């Protein structure tokens, strides 16, 4: 399986290229709801690639190509990693990412919920449906959120001025 993961990672590297002006803004089809998550080995390979990438464009390129098959962990990791770069000029991808996260939020672990909220707040990007879903899940899992997860989630809601009285 390590050889398979290495091949997948190398294939994605070979496909990687520099973005041309305006490429991030081009229309891409919305994620399809009937797409299945990839197997665990592929998820691990994508997780390693997301962690290794050094630009938000590279992470979002991977998301644009494969994001509809990401599991909950890779979706939250994508939001968190892109948020670390603090980029706000990738709106189309953020809309797609928010939609995928909102649809799968019930599968996110407590840290994934917090990291997703934090990542979108760092990018100053509000998707009401996503944040409503995050609030519901944070409330349901309040006993599972550690203090850091709770603080990061609260910070995200406050930063974006999203009301969530139930939190």
Per-residue model confidence as pLDDT tens for the chain (167 residues)? 445 544 444 444 444 433 333 433 333 344 444 456 788 999 999 999 999 999 888 999 999 999 999 999 999 999 999 998 876 667 778 899 999 999 999 999 999 999 999 999 999 999 999 999 999 999 999 999 999 999 999 999 999 999 987 77
The answer to whether the beta carbons of residues 118 and 154 sit under 8 Å apart is: no
Separation CA 167–CA 150 (nearest Å): 9
Separation CA 24–CA 13 (nearest Å): 18
**What is the per-residue pLDDT for 39?**
87
The answer to whether the beta carbons of residues 9 and 45 sit under 8 Å apart is: yes
Separation CA 25–CA 127 (nearest Å): 18
Q: Which two tokens stand for residue 110?
A: 């407590």
Number of other residues whose CB lies within 10 A of the CB of residue 38:
18
Quote the DSSP letter at residue 90.
Answer: -
47-74: buried (b, 16+ CB within 10 Å) or exposed (e) per residue? bebbeebeebbbbbbbbbebbbbbbbbb
**What is the per-residue pLDDT for 29?**
42
Separation CA 157–CA 51 (nearest Å): 25
**What is the per-residue pLDDT for 9?**
45
Helix (H) / strand (E) containing 99: helix 91-104
| Helix runs in 67-146, H state only | 72-85, 91-104, 110-122, 128-140
């Amino acid at each position: 399986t390590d050889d398979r993961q290495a091949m997948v990672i190398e294939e994605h590297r070979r496909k990687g290229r520099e973005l041309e002006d305006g490429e991030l803004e081009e229309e891409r089809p919305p994620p399809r709801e009937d797409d299945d998550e990839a197997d665990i080995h592929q998820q691990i390979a994508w997780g390693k690639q997301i962690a290794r990438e050094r630009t938000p464009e590279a992470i979002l390129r991977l998301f644009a190509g494969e994001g509809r098959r990401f599991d909950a962990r890779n979706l939250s990791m994508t939001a968190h990693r892109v948020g670390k770069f603090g980029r706000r000029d990738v709106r189309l991808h953020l809309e797609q990412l928010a939609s995928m996260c909102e649809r799968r939020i019930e599968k996110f672990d407590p840290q994934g919920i917090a990291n997703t909220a934090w990542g979108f707040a760092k990018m100053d990007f509000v998707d009401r449906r996503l944040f409503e879903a995050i609030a519901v899940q944070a409330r349901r899992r309040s006993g599972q959120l550690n203090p850091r997860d709770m603080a990061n989630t609260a910070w995200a809601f406050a930063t974006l001025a999203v009301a969530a009285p139930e939190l």
